[in-house]
Amino acid sequence: MQDNKVQIFDTTLRDGEQVPGCKLDTKQKLVIAERLDLLGVNVIEAGFPVSSPGDFNSVSEIAKIVKNATVCGLTRAVENDIKVASEALKFAKHPRIHTGIGTSDSHIQFKFKSSREAVIERAVKAVSYAKSFVEDVEFYAEDAGRTDNEYLARVCEEVIKAGATVLNIPDTTGYCLPEEYGAKMKYLRENVKGIDNVILSCHCHNDLGMATANSISGVINGARQIECTINGIGERAGNTALEEVVMVLKQHPYLNLETSINTKLLYDTSIMVRESMGMPVQPNKAIVGANAFAHSSGIHQDGVIKNRETYEIMDPEDVGVTESAIVLTARSGRAALAYRSKKIGYELTKLQLDVAYQEFLRTADQQKEVKDQDIHNIMKEVNKTSKVAIA
């Protein structure tokens, strides 16, 4: 499975929804699931059906309405979880069961009080059982980021034999460095029999701020699925942000890796998720933050007004933001003032701009940002000595 298509597996409604205070009801989940389908994600992880009757119902309703994407339900390596997930997914056009177990020594020793061999046995049993319900079975090796590669390779080989179609290699604790995570994928590609017949999947958490870098390193090294959430929401510091990995791949075409995402819907989808979850996005968040395409220093504004590409590496319209914002502050120069004045209807001569700029600086020193109404007031002052043309 070494083509150039990277599958986008969205887990906003499962890992994303695990954030305290972000609980959604079924109706809200259905709206988001429909939007994710429209956005072009390949897989929607709709929930963890055995966890509650509400989650079961959400997965089941989502399975009914999603038209294109695979709908996936999470389970532990527990028979009842798997059976319940298969029931919740029974109306899905393309159902997937996502089952798995912790594989790091810390999980084996402290969580399961078990042994490496016994964990392999449980993993194989879970995959075989899931396979009796659906063709598409994804296996996760929880805490794979801290799992010894040789043992991880053995686990992977055994679950492939049992019928797994996708192998998820989660950096559950967000600990890995990009080189390390990429090397793990490469090791698995080179040392696991049957690996070419399955998809390797990246599932990275952002505890050290490296979820996006790790996921990209994963696909450069042969993974072909990225698990991510809108706005990067998720437990603790969150998951890989969908909008970030998608735009990294789009803006670096020489990597020759593509997704099926309609990027023009990214901004609107981000707004939808932050509003329904009541989870604001930091202004400097890459791609979808309020300041992602805003310029406030004079040097940058002058460059962007002359040619956007001087300080922007992507077109805001490509992610559904209508235009770059020139924010007027005390650090702005004449070019920015002339630009914004023209946008709201004033054509200034050079002399008028000099006068306006002095007024502008007086206003800007008193407030954080100079708004359109302030510019109208500044023009009234300029008009007292010289009539400003209306653009």
The site for ligand KIV (CB under 6 A) is made up of 15, 140, 142, 168, 170, 172, 203, 205
From the list ligand KIV, Zn ion, none, which binds 17 (C-beta under 5 to 8 Å, kind-based)?
none
Coil, strand, or helix at residue 341? helix
Q: How far apart are CA 10 and CA 17, in angstroms?
A: 12
Q: How far apart are CA 334 and CA 354, in angstroms?
A: 8
Min dist CB 4 to Zn ion, Å, is 26
Q: Nearest Cα to 269, choosing from 336, 340, 319, 342?
A: 319
Q: How far apart are CA 74 and CA 13, in angstroms?
A: 11
Tallying the residues shown for the chain, one arrives at: 391
* Cβ proximity of 188 and 152 under 8 Å: yes
From the list ligand KIV, Zn ion, none, which binds 168 (C-beta under 5 to 8 Å, kind-based)?
ligand KIV
The DSSP result for 30-70, as a single string, is HHHHHHHHHHT-SEEEEE-GGG-HHHHHHHHHHHHH-SSSE
Residue number with CB closer to ligand KIV (82 or 321)? 82
Size of the residue set binding Zn ion (CB under 5 A): 1
Min dist CB 389 to Zn ion, Å, is 59
Residue number with CB closer to ligand KIV (29 or 205)? 205
* Cβ proximity of 204 and 214 under 8 Å: yes
Min dist CB 77 to Zn ion, Å, is 16
Min dist CB 65 to ligand KIV, Å, is 24
Site for Zn ion in 7-46 (CB under 5 A): 15
Min dist CB 237 to ligand KIV, Å, is 12
Residue number with CB closer to Zn ion (129 or 140)? 140
* Cβ proximity of 19 and 32 under 8 Å: no
Residue number with CB closer to ligand KIV (18 or 276)? 18
Q: How far apart are CA 150 and CA 389, in angstroms?
A: 74
From the list ligand KIV, Zn ion, none, which binds 232 (C-beta under 5 to 8 Å, kind-based)?
none
Binding site for Zn ion (CB under 5 A): 15
